[in-house]
Amino acid sequence: MIIIKKVKTLSYVFNQKLIILSNLMIKYAERHSQEEVEKLLDPIVLEWFKGRYKSFSTPQIDAIYYIHSKENVLVSSPTGTGKTFAAFLDIISQLIQLYRNGNNDKGVKVIYVSPLKALINDIKKNLLVPLEEMKSGPEREWLSHINVGIRTSDSTSSEKAKQLLKPPTILCTTPESLAIAVTAPKFRENLRTVKWVIVDEIHALAESKRGSYLSLTLELLQELADFQRIGLSATTSPIEEIAMFLAGSKRDVTIIDARFEKKTVIEVLSPVKDIVRASETKVTEATYSLLYRFLKNSKTALIFTNTRSGTERVVANLKKKFPDIFTDETIGAHHSSVSRDLRLDFEDRLKKGQLKAIVSSTSLELGIDIGYIDLVIQLGSPKSIIRLLQRVGRSGHNINSISRGIIIANDNDDIVETTVMAYYALRRELDKINIVKNALDVLSQIIVSMSLIKRWNVSEAYSVIKRSYSYENLEWKDFIDVINYLAGAYHSLEERGVYSKISLYKDGERVDRLNYEDRNAEFGKKKSARMIFYLNQGTIPDETKVVVYEGKRPIGTLEEEFVERLVPGDRFVLAGKIYEFLNSKRMKVYVKKADDSKPTVPAWFSEELPLSYDLANKIQAFRSSLLGISKREVLEKISDYPADENAKKAIAEYLSLMTKFLKSKGIEKLSSGDYLVEQYESDKFNIIFHTLLGRKANDALSRAFGYKLSEMIGSSVGVMVSDNGFVLSVDNEVKVNVKKLLKSVSSENLDEILHKAISNTELFRRKFRQVAARSFMILRNYKGHPISVSKQQFNSDLLVKVVQKVENFPLLKETYREILQDYMDISAAKEFLRKVESGEYRFIVLERSNVPSPFSFKMLAWGSSDVILMEDRRKLILKLHQKLIQFLRNKNRDADI
Amino acid sequence: MQIFKGIKTIDGKRAVYFEELDLVAISDLQLGEETYLAEEAKLFIPQVQLKIMLEEINEIKDQTKANRILINGDLKHEFKEATFQEWSEVKKLHEELKKLFSEIIVVRGNHDNYLLTISNKIGLNVVEEHIEKGYLFLHGHKLPNDYKGVHTIVIGHEQPAVILKSGYDRVKLHVILYGKDKLGHRFICLPAFSPIASGVEVNVTPKEELLSPFFHTIVDIDELKAIAVDPSTGAFKLPKVKLLRSFLLENA
């Protein structure tokens, strides 16, 4: 049902942002009727529509109504509700009316932007058919004025040249190609006629730096033309923020909230009767049998795993176990590592209904047309309520059919997590996405692109940039720092020529750098910058695969992110075998076989999606409410949760084990604000924090507490981070005062500690390299020659070493920002600490023990995933020197020193 | 700290002091590596090397009061062509050194192709190798013609460092390598003076991958001892490279 609300100002929705956004008005769509909308459409369009369809869906009616009213509109509804179609229908109708009224100017009228090239190709096909059909009436020759063009990185230069002469009425493009079009000296003139911009899959863009880039690009387009913004989004939240992201910080926008328009059914299943006691092999076996049962009875099912490797494994196993129905012809894997041709082939066969099942990691979350899916199966937790709804929403081919989804959980924690998730998904209580704010590397790109257009007054440029919601709070100081960086001000005078990407002027004279007071200075283009911009713009980091060697023999590749986590001695699975990590050098990883030992790092850890903070809080509340009561009481309390009997029994069993454990420690009950801290002795001494906050917040907390612990004990600390908490481990003989440790990190000092704790990590170096590439400090392509990543990589530690000596270096600031705010969630971590400080939350520290709690099992099974090195270099060296002397003494070689 | 009689470390500096010669030796400055990276790798890092090196050299002068300095090769990272920009930093370094030392000796390294052509212009003394009172200084990318009258060989080129590791702790240290070669000379390998050089981990790198021909002929690197030089601890002695190798493997 559409939420019908009267016009509201933002203050009602979003109290905290009231001051900043007082100029902006967000409206919620009111209901309109089919008849009202029919009156708005041009007869040609209406006649065509009626010849083919019965009626419009509710979101379609509203989309047409509000697009027609020339307002900025955000339409949020599940995939398959026809929102893209509706948007185009009204726009085509308006275009026809323009032509009827004799308006016949050349130039682009509509820009359709999508993050996916596949979607762009779909759209073109889907537009051409109705346009062709509408033409078939009498005296409609002029409809052929409406032509559709595609402009992506795949477009040839001759195609682009043709577009220059005969600009397409409707231009379908990606954010990156649009950014180039806006700066292209001739082609940009064709954009002065733009009246509509449609941003498809806007929810996916908003969460990334690509979104920041697009929102700035739209502001540059706004300098050329006055256009209406139409955003199309799958189910997401907070919808008001996505609306502001679409409109910019000072424009009105109407929200059509049809997120829950499709009926949805979701159930959590346990593959075995007693998952608490079942072996992993048994669970896996049972999962495949269950899959088989569902797949046999459905027409075409879409299976989501959370990882690419999982995707391949599921396809291979289904083919092996059930060759009767699963062959190369009936099942396929779809993820970003699958070759393009293969992927297109799968998509094509899906549309024709030839596939029985398709298995995907994330690539099919977005709205590529995949035809009729009658069931979505999620293997393991998708980690967020929104993602669950988006995925399940891919089933049921139109708005009137039901979306059916099942989740097959794979262990105790997974059952608890997915049951809570499904429960809130059905109650429409969504978790929130995070919109990237003030990314300084993307800002660098846009300033360079602005310089290519004209010479800008810095204050004017600043206000254009601040119109973007992603930069509405951009600090003047940061803006000037970025300008100075681009002008080469951080380099010596002689070298500036090589380094600068823009030119600066004060009172018409060239200058080398600006002061913060220079509000009337100007910046403009530098000769070589256009080529650098064209070849290096875009925000997606080059996918870097690291080659793994066993001796001299390459045995496979690992993702950079995965390698970031490895420390010597870690064991992991690659291509079905266990290897021990020896070291990594210049994008090469060296390993040796370790067949007899068990892996210490889960495969593809880096691919795992993080649990959302909001959902984590809900699970914490759920878990603690069910502790300290009997199994029967648990079952009663969860009777209306969407899970099968086995899953519910598993929850009761699992929580009663924890209840027993707590009782043995003298704890009867826990409230939702109680966070356990265990001290568990095994081969290491482990401090287990049960901070169920999601991995992003735990990443921040673990590094801060780990850093403080390292300082306290004068030794490096092993860290393992998960969604449910984190583990710090040190040598057994070390004495740790846990109470003191808990007090050492606060909401006040968290920032400062984290800055120190991450500055010397592999994570920081890799992220810095990506930021440097986005800011054109490292070029990926020069004069048309791609520059190999390995050539750039060989010194990312050198790079960081050098820039850390430069004051106010904006790229360092951005690296910290990205790690703390996007990669980790420092604000959630701070909120948690504040609540601990205010007494709303408390840590409950358990005595040292050699038996871990049931809640710890999964965390401990993963082993250590990162290490916080001792910060004090002198102490570290002396300690290692001591160890060395001990070693030599044992060998009777100490006289050798 | 004494390395050999009359040859000393200078606190945690990546330099060696030769008392008898009133001379300080440094090696592998890689000046202008930033420019090289900008042009070749399109990696635009700010220039900080020269500034840091000049500060270090000033401290070395204060501590040793030496009147002479020898740069044992690879003064410059790479000379593509002898343009002003290419050697402006060399010129600046030279001017600063002149203020501190009465004599500056530059030994040619493998990166110094264009150095000879421009050295005359700025009055820089560049030699293939430097022999004085039985001390032989050479960069180390090739072997000398003979060792007549030589008792001590000093090279650079390899940029030696070691890794120490135990449990979760690990640290990388630049080192001075020293010992006897197979012909009985005293042998020293200087660490890279460039603050941005990462150093070659000699207790990890297989012998056959080492750069200098010395380590494939008259010097067995495993038999050399090391002295770590680090600003946080100063200089301290380490055992032979072969023991540092086994410390790494057996103490994992």
Among B residues 194-233, those touching chain A with beta carbons less than 8 Å apart: 195-196, 198, 204, 225, 228, 230, 232-233
Determine the straight-line distance between the first and last CA of chain B, rounded to whole angstroms.
30
Contact B48/A879, CB-based, under 8 Å? no
Q: Report CA-CA distances (Å) from A850 to A291, A678, A859, B183.
A: 39, 10, 15, 60
How much is the pLDDT for A568?
Answer: 64
Chain B residues close to A869, C-beta within 8 Å: 168-170
Burial of A506 (0-12, 13-18, 19+ CB in 10 A): middle
The whole-number pLDDT of residue A366 equals: 76
Cis peptide before A238 (omega within 30 of 0): yes
Instruction: Please report the sign of the dihedral spanned by the C-alpha atoms of residue A504, residue A509, residue A512, residue A515.
Output: negative
How many whole angstroms separate alpha carbon A377 and alpha carbon A294? 9
Kindly list the residues from chain B whose CB atom is less than 8 angstroms away from the CB atom of residue A873: 171, 230, 232
DSSP A749-797: THHHHHHHHHHTSHHHHHHHHHHHHHTTSB-SEETTEEPPHHHHHTTHH
The predicted structure's pLDDT at residue A473: 95
Q: Smallest CA–CA separation between A450 and chain B, in Å?
A: 21
Whether residues A806 and B46 touch (CB distance < 8 A) is answered with: yes
> Does B98 lie at the interface with A, CB-CB under 8 angstroms?
no
For residue A806, list chain B residues with Cβ-Cβ distance below 8 A.
Answer: 46, 48
Contact A716 B169 (CB under 8 A): yes
Of A498, A874, A897, the CB nearest to B238: A897
User: What amino acid is encoded at A524 in this protein?
Assistant: G
Q: What is the DSSP string of A479-511?
A: HHHHHHHHTTTTS-TTTHHHH-SEEEEETTEEE
Chain B residue closest to A486 (CA)?
B44
- Radius of gyration in angstroms for the set of CA atoms belonging to chain B, rounded to a whole number: 18
Q: Alpha-carbon distance A131 to A113, whole Å?
A: 20
Q: What CATH number did the domain enclosing B134 receive?
A: 3.60.21
Whole-number Å distance between alpha carbons of A452 and A532: 11
| B209 contacts in chain A (CB < 8 Å) | none
Q: Which pLDDT belongs to residue A559?
A: 72
- Which pTM was predicted? 0.84
Please report the pLDDT score of residue B235 as a whole number. 95
Give the per-residue pLDDT at A879: 85
Q: Supply angle C-alpha A394, A399, A400, rounded to 5.
A: 120
Residue A437 burial by CB count (10 A; 0-12/13-18/19+): exposed, middle or buried?
A: middle
CB of B247 within 8 Å of a chain A CB? The answer is yes
B43 in A contact zone (CB under 8 Å): yes
DSSP character at residue B31? B
Per-residue pLDDT at A14: 35
Expressed as residue numbers, the domain containing B162 is: 2-250
Give the C-alpha separation, A580 to A572, whole Å.
Answer: 7
Identify the pLDDT of residue A601: 57
Nearest CA in chain B to A779: B42
Q: How far apart are CA A361 and CA A346, in angstroms?
A: 14
Are the C-beta atoms of B86 and B32 separated by less than 8 Å? yes
> Nearest-CA neighbor of A459 among A521, A525, A524, A526?
A521
Q: In chain B, which residue's Cα lies nearest the Cα of A879?
A: B169
| CA distances for A128 relative to A81, A99, A194, A450, A743, angstroms | 20, 18, 20, 34, 65
Task: Report percent pLDDT > 90 for chain A.
Answer: 54
Q: Which residues contact A744 (CB under 8 A, 6 or more apart)?
A: A705, A708, A712
Q: How many CB pairs under 8 A join A and B?
A: 134
CA distance A467 to A218: 10
Contacts of A774 in chain B (CB under 8 A): none
Test the B interface: residue of A805, A867, A875 with most B CBs within 10 Å: A805
As beta bridge partners, residue A67 has: none
Q: Inter-chain contact B39–A498, Cβ cutoff 8 Å?
A: yes
What's the average pLDDT block by block, 10 residues per block, for chain A (897 residues)?
Answer: 35 33 70 91 91 88 93 89 88 90 86 90 86 81 85 90 94 96 95 96 94 98 97 92 93 91 92 90 92 92 83 85 88 75 80 87 76 90 93 81 92 95 94 94 97 97 97 97 92 70 94 94 93 89 76 76 64 69 79 68 57 96 96 96 96 96 93 96 92 95 94 86 91 91 97 90 81 86 62 59 82 96 96 97 94 89 60 80 88 75
Element (H, E) at B127: strand B126-127
Please check the confidence at residue B165 and state whether its pLDDT lies above 90.
no
Inspect the interface and report whether the beta carbons of B164 and A880 lie closer than 8 Å.
Answer: yes
Predicted pLDDT of residue B79: 57
**Residue B236 in contact with partner chain A when CB distance is under 8 A:** yes
A883–B166 C-beta distance less than 8 A = yes
In total, how many domains does chain B have? Answer: 1
* Residue A546 C-alpha, separation from nearest chain B C-alpha, in angstroms: 19
Q: Which ipTM was obtained for this model? A: 0.89
CA distance A629 to chain B (A): 42
H or E segment and range at residue B91: helix B84-100
How far apart are alpha carbons A327 and A70 in whole angstroms? 51
Query: Which residues on B lie below 8 Å from A785 (Cβ)?
Result: none
Determine contact: B127 vs chain A, CB below 8 A: no
Q: What is the pLDDT of residues A65-117, one digit of tens each?
A: 999 999 999 999 887 778 888 899 999 999 998 888 877 778 999 999 999 88
HSE toward the beta carbon, residue A468, CA cutoff 13 A: 30
* Residue numbers in A near B170 (CB within 8 A): 568, 716, 869, 880
Our CA-based measurement puts residue A216 at a distance from the nearest CA of chain B, in whole angstroms, of 25
The answer to whether the CB atoms of B46 and A881 lie below 8 A apart is no
- What local confidence, expressed as pLDDT, does residue A810 receive? 94
Question: To the nearest whole angstrom, how far is the Cα of B42 from the nearest Cα of chain A?
Answer: 5
Mean pLDDT, rounded, of chain B = 88
CB A504, CB A523: distance < 8 Å: yes
Q: Whose CA is closest to A212, among A774, A600, A879?
A: A774
Beta bridge partners of A457: A522
For residue A248, the distance in angstroms to the closest alpha carbon of chain B comes to 33
